């Protein structure tokens, strides 16, 4: 009788293991290729950054005529927050080439692979240093070194990219990164587009002296939705007022998006900036 508890335990374990055995094994979901989405065809590679100490997922969209135009070098648009903007703006760019005769370009999406922290670290990568910013919370400098030393050389080695026509696009917090790039490395990109950029934290650098450049063809577009948050529109107005009439390494163009809200009109900001950059006349009302 003293052994009955042990037998009961054994029986319980057997029943438990039998129950476990009846459960279906956990399966890893299949990888779904993007190559069947024609507008996104180009390439993908992971890039473990030594500079930013993070893994980035790099998506590349190639022009439709890339294979046939073997002597052509294309502008390259680097899209921050590529998790959202790579699929969105790849389609936007394609249909602008069809409807508005926009120059074709290689689009590069810099993605995290998730919107969730800590995988997604845009709040660090795109935050400039500043009086109210802890050093560990500002990764803008190391992220830009990742662009300079790792990503851009990789793209320009693998693809027929025109190094004189690099373009950088960002929205909101990554729009702040656009401004940081313009002030610290003005000649790294031919053009930059900041869509509804964040102005804090780290705003001091946006009022400091930009580094000099030998180029005279640089562009900085700042797009603002007319329905953007009031405090951000006020901050933008203050910034434009500060730089009005002053000499900068880049020509500054303000773009107002009628009815535009903070995030939903990034495609309209992209379209408006690309039209101006490539000399496409504004649409008639």
Query: Which pLDDT score, from 0 to 100, does residue 24 have?
Result: 63
pTM summary value: 0.88
What are the 10-residue block averages of pLDDT along the chain, 285 residues in total? 42 43 65 86 95 96 94 97 97 97 98 95 94 88 98 98 98 97 97 96 92 95 96 96 95 97 96 97 75
Within-domain flag for 167: yes
Question: Can you read off the two tokens belonging to residue 53?
Answer: 């100490």
The domain that contains 190 carries what CATH number? 3.40.50.1820
Domain of 146 in residue numbering reads as: 56-277
| Under 8 Å between Cβ of 259 and 226 | yes
Strand order in the sheet with 219-225: 42-49, 54-61, 106-111, 74-79, 161-171, 191-195, 219-225, 251-257
Within-domain flag for 28: no
CA dist 147 and 152 (Å) reads: 6
| Under 8 Å between Cβ of 195 and 171 | yes
Query: Which pLDDT score, from 0 to 100, does residue 32 have?
Result: 76
**How many structural domains does the chain have?**
1
| Under 8 Å between Cβ of 195 and 172 | yes
Query: Which pLDDT score, from 0 to 100, does residue 22 have?
Result: 56
Query: Which pLDDT score, from 0 to 100, does residue 19 have?
Result: 45
Within-domain flag for 160: yes
């Amino acid at each position: 009788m003293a052994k009955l508890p042990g037998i009961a335990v054994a029986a319980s374990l057997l029943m438990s293991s039998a129950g476990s055995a009846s459960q279906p094994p956990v399966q890893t979901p299949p990888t779904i290729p993007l190559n069947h989405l024609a507008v996104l065809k180009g390439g993908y590679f992971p890039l473990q950054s030594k500079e930013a100490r993070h893994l980035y997922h790099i998506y590349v969209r190639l022009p439709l005529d890339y294979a046939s135009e073997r002597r052509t070098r294309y502008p390259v648009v680097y899209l921050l927050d590529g998790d959202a903007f790579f699929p969105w703006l790849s389609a936007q760019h394609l249909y602008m080439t069809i409807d508005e005769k926009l120059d074709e370009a290689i689009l590069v999406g810099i993605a995290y692979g998730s919107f969730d922290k800590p995988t997604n670290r845009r709040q660090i990568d795109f935050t400039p240093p500043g009086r109210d910013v802890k050093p560990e919370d500002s990764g803008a400098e190391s992220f830009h070194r990742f662009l300079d030393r790792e990503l851009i050389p990789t793209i320009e080695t693998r693809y027929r990219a025109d190094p004189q026509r690099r373009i950088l696009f960002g929205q909101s917090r990554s729009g702040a990164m656009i401004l940081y790039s313009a002030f610290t490395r003005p000649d790294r990109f031919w053009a930059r587009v900041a869509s509804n950029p964040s102005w804090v934290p780290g705003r001091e650098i946006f009022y400091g002296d930009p580094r000099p450049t030998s180029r005279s063809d640089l562009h900085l577009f700042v797009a603002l939705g007319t329905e953007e948050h009031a405090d951000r529109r006020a901050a933008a107005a203050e910034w434009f007022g500060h730089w009005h009439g002053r000499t900068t390494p880049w020509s500054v163009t303000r773009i107002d998006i009628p009815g535009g809200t903070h995030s939903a009109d990034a495609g309209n900001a992209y379209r408006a900036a690309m039209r101006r950059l490539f000399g496409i006349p504004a649409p008639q009302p």
